[in-house]
Amino acid sequence: MNITLSVDERVAQAAREAARKMGKSLNQAVRDYLEQLAGQERQAAEWQLWEQRCLNGGGRLQGYTLDRDALHDRS
């Protein structure tokens, strides 16, 4: 997919230089950033789903209860 962006020329030039220092083209740096951004959104959605599952269980994880003694059992 092709995307057209409008960016101030000074910003674009500074970004090209930063990408060059990373050994990348500006195009590759933008692609990498978009992939990272998409991954963060997916991870946030997965955490939200997990949180809802925990909360819908009445604060219990499928009946499992924490036992202080078992938690500190070092045998």
- Model pLDDT for residues 27-69, shown as the tens digit of each residue: 999 999 998 888 887 888 888 888 887 777 655 556 666 677 7
- C-alpha span between 54 and 69 (Å, rounded): 23
For the chain, what is the domain count? 1
> Is residue 51 a part of any domain in this protein?
yes
Task: State the helix-helix crossing angle for 9-21 and 26-56, rounded to 10 degrees.
Answer: 90
Higher pLDDT, 5 or 57: 5
> Is residue 47 a part of any domain in this protein?
yes
> Is residue 16 a part of any domain in this protein?
yes
pTM of the model: 0.54
- C-alpha span between 4 and 46 (Å, rounded): 30
> Is residue 4 a part of any domain in this protein?
no
Which amino acid belongs to residue 75?
Answer: S
Domain boundaries, position 66 = 9-71
Higher pLDDT, 18 or 71: 18
Classify each residue of 58-72 as buried b or exposed e, where b means 16 or more C-beta atoms within 10 Å of its C-beta: eeeeeeeeeeeeeee
> Is residue 66 a part of any domain in this protein?
yes
